[in-house]
Amino acid sequence: MTNKLIDKRTIFKIKDLNLWYGNDQALKGLNYDINEHDVTAIIGPSGCGKSTFIKTLNRMVELIPSVRTSGEILYNETNIFSKSFRVEELRTKVGMVFQKPNPFPKSIYENVVYGAKVHGIKNKSQLMEIAETSLRSAALWDEVKDRLNSNAYGLSGGQQQRLCIARCLAIQPEVLLMDEPTSALDPIATAKIEELIVELKKEYTIVIVTHSMQQAARISDETAFFLLGELIEAGNTKTIFTTPRDKRTEDYITGRFG
Ligand SMILES: Nc1ncnc2c1ncn2[C@@H]1O[C@H](COP(=O)(O)OP(=O)(O)OP(=O)(O)O)[C@@H](O)[C@H]1O
């Protein structure tokens, strides 16, 4: 399915992607392009393959031993499944934020600079600069700048989620994958993350799984509707929500199932 009208750079080109967990096929013949600086929302009923799909984009899904894939995902024009492709580099460039905030049991500062340290940066002022820049980008700096050495577990759920976003940003990704990043948060914390996503798309490309139609409509440029492992319909979010082509998309977005 072709889905782009505007002339933007394609960051992921997905070609005939299939994925199996053992004998069970979870993704079926997906063809889709994801463009730079778009927020792309992945929607669909429980079990339709949304999480599996985004975890395939940085090959995290392969951490499950029974997983087998076929097809291609071109990331900046290189197939991520090719033998010579460096998966560690992919996971640096394509970061992930999960449903439940998952900070490490460390200080706020140590959480943010963790990846930079793993990458060998030792200089204290450089690390402090990375921490401040990342926390500012995640709209958290003002709330934590006086308590950087406090344990991250002392933050609220919404703050912890922004900390996890800051931790991702600190390793300078190009893409942020977000798997229902607000489903564990209250409406105010959710609104803050949504505002942040809209701000972050100036610098990053964002793919977000969401169960909330309102959230998809509020923050995404493109929406892809999945059903039983298939990509049923994708395109401009406004179009998908106002004039879907497929009856199954219409039924889902109007709450008739799922
Ligand atoms: N580790 C796994 N082993 C085997 N099957 C799995 C595994 N993870 C997911 N599946 C199956 O793959 C299919 C897609 O699951 P996935 O979690 O990607 O769906 P989803 O759309 O993200 O669901 P939800 O909205 O409930 O999170 C489901 O049938 C699920 O049972």
CATH of the domain at 221: 3.40.50.300
ipTM above 0.90, yes or no: yes
Give the Å distance between the CA of 53 and the centre of ligand 1: 10
What integer pLDDT is reported at residue 1 of this predicted model? 47
Q: Measured in angstroms, how far is the CA atom of residue 20 from the centroid of ligand 1?
A: 11
Cα of 40 vs centre of ligand 1, distance in Å, is 20
Does residue 167 line the site of ligand 1, with CB under 6 A? no
pTM > 0.90: yes or no: yes
Please report whether residue 244 resides in a domain: yes
Query: pLDDT band at 2, cuts 50/70/90?
Result: very low
Indicate the top mutation candidate among 25, 28, 42, 48 to test ligand 1's pocket, ranked by most ligand atoms within 8 A of CB. Answer: 48
Higher pLDDT, 256 or 49: 49
How many structural domains are present in the chain?
1
Average pLDDT over residues 236-257: 94
Is residue 26 in contact with ligand 1, taking CB distance under 6 Å? Answer: yes
Q: What is the dihedral of CA 225, 226, 231, 234, to 10 degrees?
A: 10
Kindly state whether residue 85 falls inside one of the protein's structural domains. Answer: yes
Domain with 193, as residue range(s), is 10-101+173-253
- Residue 185 in any domain: the answer is yes
- pLDDT tens, position by position, 149-190: 999 999 999 999 999 999 999 999 999 999 999 999 999 999
pLDDT above 70 coverage of the chain, percent? 97
Axis-axis angle for helices 157-169, 124-137 (nearest 10): 120
